[in-house]
Chain A
Amino acid sequence: MRPFRAPLVLLLFAPPAPAASIRDPGLRPDAPQANTGFQGHIATGLTFPAGRASGASGDALGARYAWQWPFELGLGAKPSEHVYVGGYFVFGLGAEGSDSRVARACVDKDNDLNNDVSCSAYSLHAGIEARWTFSPDRRTTPWLSYGAGPTLASQNIDDRPSARSETTTVTGWDFARVGLGLDLRAARAVGLGPYVGVAFGRYLHTKTEVNGVTTYDGAIDQAAWHSWISVGARIVLFP
């Protein structure tokens, strides 16, 4: 008879279970037991653009977008003590990049203490990731993750005196979202720790809207590789 194996979706709703394995005799007695079942995390920090948004001249990712403030949510499950599989969603909020022409346009030119031309940027990353926790039953454990999924980045310039708002949004794929971190397992139910990560991807599609009207919607002629480099901290439920 084949042994019963619970599908992954059941693990999402299962309460964290104590690890069945015999604990390492070298562990400190107060180290929380390893978990299986549901795991979630939230994270924030800073993320920096690198590489090129497209192959066009002057189209560095950092020219379009400045560093951003990311907010990350991850939900998934640990089918074993070492392995986590789940989904991630990251929203990053930032400002215009280093392009001097746009930066100049975004500076308030009069002295009425009201910025007449406002600029903003944001990015989204979503997908599925897997994480390997090296020492799941120790108080401090490093981890390594890999994920992939769709991504989006958008920039807007809103010129109120001219009544003109321009938005350009690019979409593509994060082909490799690699992370490295350290979980400090304060208790069995919660942990926290620093992380660094790099998302390598390509934007493949672009859309321009002026005052809400689409003026171009099509493929990027010269797609190029870019990356978003992140550093920050995360809080983990049932690490």
Chain B
Amino acid sequence: MRAFFAFFALIAMGCTSPQGIGYSALDVEVTHADGGSVDGFPEKSCTTLPVLIGSRVVHDYSVDGALSIHVDADRGGVGIFFWRGAAEPGAPARRYSVDELSGGVSDQLDVESATGEMYVVYLSSKCPVAQ
């Protein structure tokens, strides 16, 4: 009986906290091959995976106008595509399932732009700021 009253007292006191949904996300960061920062690359480059069936979240990031990073996420996972010029790539350079993201992803890719410049793309499931 005491536990019963304690339980309702906790509710009355608001000791339970609201709980949202746990989201998976992928953060994209880019540097020049020598580690220098890329001008104009957005600080907020985190893609949060959607929850609903059929939902899609698509982000495009331009790197010095010579390379485009296309992030295409649905609730099952996220694909990373690199576009050099007008040609669209057929397959993603990387694809991570929602389970892989939940387990933790930290990846690094060396990518060459259309002008031959080298960049390093960092992919991480830890997002500093969710979008």
Residues of A within 8 A of B (CB): 53-54, 56, 58-59, 63-64, 97, 99, 101-102, 105, 109-114, 116-117, 155, 157, 159-162, 164, 166, 168, 170, 206, 208, 210, 215-216, 220
Contacts and interface: CB of A to CB of B under 8 A. Distances in A.
Interface stretch (B13-21, B27-35, B77-85, B101-109): B13-21
A53 B23 contact: no
Interface string B55-97: 1111100000000000000010000000000000000000000
B117 to A, nearest CB: 29
A159 B20 contact: yes
29 contacts: A64-B53, A64-B54, A105-B21, A105-B51, A110-B18, A111-B11, A112-B14, A112-B16, A113-B11, A116-B19, A117-B20, A155-B52, A159-B20, A161-B19, A161-B20, A162-B23, A168-B54, A168-B55, A208-B50, A208-B52, A208-B54, A208-B56, A215-B56, A215-B58, A215-B59, A216-B55, A216-B57, A216-B58, A220-B54
B19 A206 contact: no
B25 to A, nearest CB: 11
Given A59-B53, A105-B21, 7 more contacts: A97-B53, A162-B21, A166-B50, A166-B52, A206-B54, A210-B48, A215-B59
A203 B84 CA distance: 33
Contacts of A206: 54, 56
A157 B59 CA distance: 21
Given A168-B54, A170-B54, A208-B50, A112 B20 contact: no
A103 to B, nearest CB: 11
- List of 5 A-B pairs having minimum Cβ-Cβ separation, nearest first: A161-B20, A162-B20, A216-B56, A116-B18, A215-B57
Interface size class of B (residues with CB under 8 A): 20 to 34
A97 B18 CA distance: 23
A11 B51 CA distance: 50
Interface of B: 11, 14, 16-21, 23, 48, 50-59, 75
A208 B20 contact: no
A211 to B, nearest CB: 9
Contact of A116 (B20, B52, B75): B20
Q: Which of B14, B50, B55, B58 has the most CB of A within 10 A?
A: B55
B9 to A, nearest CB: 12
A233 B71 CA distance: 48
Given A110-B19, A112-B14, A160-B18, A208 B51 contact: no
A65 to B, nearest CB: 10
B20 A210 contact: no
A170 B21 CA distance: 23
A111 B13 CA distance: 12
A76 B8 CA distance: 58
A210 B11 CA distance: 32
A114 B16 CA distance: 11
Contacts of B17: 110
A168 B59 CA distance: 17
A161 B21 CA distance: 8
Contacts of B23: 162, 164
A59 to B, nearest CB: 6
